[in-house]
C-alpha cells in the first residue's frame, strides 16, 4: 500500500489553545478520504497544515512522501487545493485565471495552452473561456477553482467544502466530476458538512472532535461498530435515538414496547453516527 498523506502525532497550538491534539492517520494513494467534524473541531487547521499554509507545532506530516515543514516547495508542486472561499480573480476571464495559475507553476506555454483547454473542457467551461469570472454562477466558479487546481497535474487534491452554497443539481454534477477524477487515480481529501456527500463519495471517513480523531473507518465499519438499526422516539420537539446491531433487532425492540406512540425504526446513517459521537449536529 502506497501512502499519499501521513500525519503522525500532529499538534497545533495557537497561544495556549490546542486546536489539533495528537492527530495521526494515513490516506492511501488513490483513496477518497472524508474528514468530518463540528465547527471548531480542527478540520480547517488540519487542511492548512497539510497544504503548507500553517506550520504544525509538533509532529510529522508527509504529503506525497515529502515533509511539509522541510520540503514545502516539493509538496506544493504535488497538491491541488480547492478552498471553501472562492479564490479566483473575479476581474480576470476564465482563461486568464487558468493562464495565470499555469505561469505561476512554470508550465511551458505549449503544454499550458493544451492543458487549459483540456481542463476547461472537462469542467464544461470551454464555452465560457472568455467570460469575466465574476459573471459566472456559483457552480461555474467552483468548477473553475477545481480546473485551476488540476492544471499542474497534482497527485493529491484537497477539497475543503467544495459544494457549500450550491443548488442540489450543481452539487450532484460536482459529485460526478469528483468521483470520476478519483476513479482516474487522483488521491483526494474532502471536508464537508453534507453527510450524503461523504456517503456517496468517500472510501474511508475520519471524524474529528476537539482536535482529536475519535473515529476512523469505512461507512460500513462505522455502522457495524455503532449499530445498523435505529429506534427513534419523539420526545416533545426532538427525537431520541437508540442504536441496535441490526434493523431486525431494532424492530424486535419496537415490537416489545407496550406504547409505540411516536416511535419508528430505520437503518442508521452517517449523520446518526456523527451526532452520537460528537453529541451535536453540524452547523
* pLDDT level of residue 282 (50, 70, 90 thresholds): very low
Q: Is the pTM of this model over 0.85?
A: yes
Same domain, 165 and 258: no
Q: Give residue 283's pLDDT.
A: 45
Tally of CB atoms within 10 A around 60? 14
d(CA 212, CA 10): 10
CATH number at residue 101: 3.40.50.300
Same domain, 98 and 179: yes
* pLDDT level of residue 280 (50, 70, 90 thresholds): low
Same domain, 189 and 160: yes
Helix (H) or strand (E) holding 238: strand 238-244
Same domain, 179 and 248: no
Range of the domain at 259: 228-267
Quick one: how far is CA 195 from the chain centroid?
A: 11
Has residue 266 got a pLDDT over 70? yes
Same domain, 101 and 164: yes
Same domain, 244 and 110: no
Same domain, 127 and 194: yes
Q: Give residue 39's pLDDT.
A: 87
Has residue 52 got a pLDDT over 70? yes
Same domain, 98 and 204: yes
Residue 20 lies in a domain: no
Tally of CB atoms within 10 A around 139? 18
Q: Are 160 and 178 in contact (CB under 8 A)?
A: no
**H-only helix segments in 43-187:** 43-50, 72-77, 94-104, 109-122, 138-150, 168-183
Residue with grid cell 505561469, as numbered in its chain: 103
Same domain, 141 and 172: yes
56-113 pLDDT tens trace: 999 999 999 999 999 999 999 999 999 887 889 999 999 999 999 999 999 999 999 9
Residue 25: partners with Cβ closer than 8 Å, 6 or more residues away:
7, 206, 213, 216
d(CA 122, CA 120): 5
Same domain, 48 and 122: yes
Residue 209 lies in a domain: yes
Burial 192-211 (b: 16+ CB within 10 A, else e): bbbbebbeebbebbbbbbeb
**What angle separates helix 109-122 from helix 138-150, to the nearest 10 degrees?**
140
Same domain, 140 and 245: no
Tally of CB atoms within 10 A around 1? 7
What's the structural domain count of the chain? 2
157-183 pLDDT tens trace: 999 988 888 888 888 999 999 999 999
Same domain, 127 and 204: yes
d(CA 44, CA 134): 26
Amino acid at each position: 500500500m502506497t501512502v499519499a498523506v501521513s500525519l503522525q502525532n500532529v499538534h497545533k497550538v495557537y497561544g495556549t489553545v490546542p486546536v489539533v491534539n495528537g492527530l495521526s492517520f494515513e490516506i492511501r494513494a488513490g483513496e477518497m478520504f472524508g474528514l468530518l467534524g463540528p465547527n471548531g473541531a480542527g478540520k480547517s487547521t488540519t487542511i492548512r497544515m497539510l497544504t503548507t499554509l500553517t506550520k504544525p507545532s509538533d509532529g510529522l506530516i508527509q504529503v506525497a512522501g515529502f515533509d511539509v515543514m522541510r520540503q514545502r516547495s516539493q509538496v506544493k508542486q504535488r497538491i491541488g487545493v480547492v478552498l471553501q472561499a472562492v479564490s479566483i480573480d473575479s476581474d480576470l476571464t476564465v482563461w486568464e485565471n487558468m493562464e495565470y495559475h499555469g505561469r505561476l507553476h512554470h508550465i511551458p506555454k505549449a503544454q499550458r495552452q493544451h492543458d487549459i483547454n483540456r481542463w476547461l473542457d472537462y469542467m464544461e467551461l470551454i464555452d465560457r473561456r472568455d467570460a469575466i469570472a465574476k459573471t459566472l454562477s456559483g457552480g461555474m466558479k467552483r468548477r473553475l477553482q477545481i480546473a485551476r487546481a488540476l492544471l499542474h497535474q497534482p497527485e493529491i487534491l484537497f477539497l475543503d467544502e467544495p459544494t457549500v452554497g450550491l443548488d442540489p443539481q450543481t452539487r450532484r454534477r460536482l459529485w460526478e466530476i469528483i468521483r470520476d477524477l478519483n476513479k482516474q487515480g487522483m488521491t483526494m481529501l474532502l471536508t464537508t458538512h453534507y453527510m450524503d456527500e461523504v456517503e456517496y463519495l468517500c472510501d474511508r471517513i475520519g471524524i474529528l472532535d476537539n482536535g482529536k480523531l475519535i473515529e476512523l473507518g469505512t461507512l460500513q465499519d462505522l455502522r457495524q461498530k455503532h449499530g445498523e438499526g435505529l429506534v427513534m422516539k419523539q420526545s416533545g420537539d426532538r427525537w431520541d435515538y437508540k442504536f441496535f446491531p441490526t434493523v431486525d433487532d431494532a424492530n424486535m425492540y419496537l415490537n416489545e414496547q407496550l406504547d409505540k406512540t411516536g416511535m419508528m425504526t430505520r437503518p442508521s446513517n452517517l449523520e446518526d453516527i456523527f451526532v452520537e459521537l460528537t453529541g451535536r449536529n453540524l452547523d
